[in-house]
Amino acid sequence: MRVLLQRVREARVTVDGRVTGEIGPGLMILVCAMEGDTDAAADRLAARIAKLRIFKDADGKMNLSVRDTGGAALVVSQFTLAADTSRGNRPGFSTAAAPDEGRRLYEYFSDRLRAEGITVANGEFGADMDVSLVNQGPVTIWLEA
């Protein structure tokens, strides 16, 4: 699995003008299930993200996790994280998981974050979404499992 996470002041996803998920301070997590990914990969990523110390403590050092701060996560499926741009000008996405498996792993990953004690909001799998956020820092981190 691949994720791109951003520390945010707030984030929101809308589909056709309808808000499907929004959070205040926390993490915006774009997630892509890759071909061959397993539940174990989602387990590892969720546990790692819950403990990742990228929020400032009282001394201004990145020393706290989203769990420590009581922050939330907005999890959005994004198969384009599987983009292969090594040839030509049009990305290929053949390494992304098939849609049914991608949806299952996306939902499983969201559930695993909840099990880690994180409040989770979601986008809508497979939808054309409008995503807005205020990146704090900015802090943007790429993770793979």
Distance CA 124, CA 103 (A): 10
Identify the domain containing residue 115 by its residue range.
2-135
- In sign, the C-alpha dihedral spanning 118, 119, 123, 126 is positive
Single pTM value for the model: 0.94
- On whether residue 38 sits in a domain, the answer given is yes
Distance CA 56, CA 71 (A): 12
- On whether residue 144 sits in a domain, the answer given is no
- What is the total count of domains within the chain? 1
From first to last of its 145 residues, what are the pLDDT tens digits of the chain? 999 999 999 999 999 999 999 999 999 999 999 999 999 999 999 999 999 999 999 999 999 999 999 999 999 999 999 999 999 899 999 999 999 999 999 999 999 999 999 999 999 999 999 999 999 999 999 999 8
Instruction: Please confirm, yes or no, whether 140 is among the known catalytic residues.
Output: no
Distance CA 67, CA 85 (A): 35
Look up the CATH number of the domain holding residue 27.
3.50.80.10
What spatial distance separates the first Cα and last Cα of the chain, rounded to whole Å?
5
Catalytic residue among 6, 20, 55, 78: 78
For residue 94, report the phi and psi dihedrals to the nearest 5 degrees.
-70, -15
- On whether residue 140 sits in a domain, the answer given is no
- On whether residue 125 sits in a domain, the answer given is yes
Q: Tell me the H-state helices in the chain.
A: 39-51, 66-69, 99-115
Instruction: Please confirm, yes or no, whether 79 is among the known catalytic residues.
Output: yes
Instruction: Please confirm, yes or no, whether 78 is among the known catalytic residues.
Output: yes
- On whether residue 141 sits in a domain, the answer given is no
Distance CA 26, CA 138 (A): 13
Distance CA 20, CA 70 (A): 21
Those residues whose C-beta lies under 8 Å from the C-beta of residue 134, and which sit 6 or more positions away, are: 8, 9, 10, 11
Beta bridge partners of 34: 96
- On whether residue 84 sits in a domain, the answer given is yes
Distance CA 121, CA 25 (A): 12
Catalytic residue among 80, 109, 119, 136: 80
Catalytic residue among 20, 55, 79, 109: 79
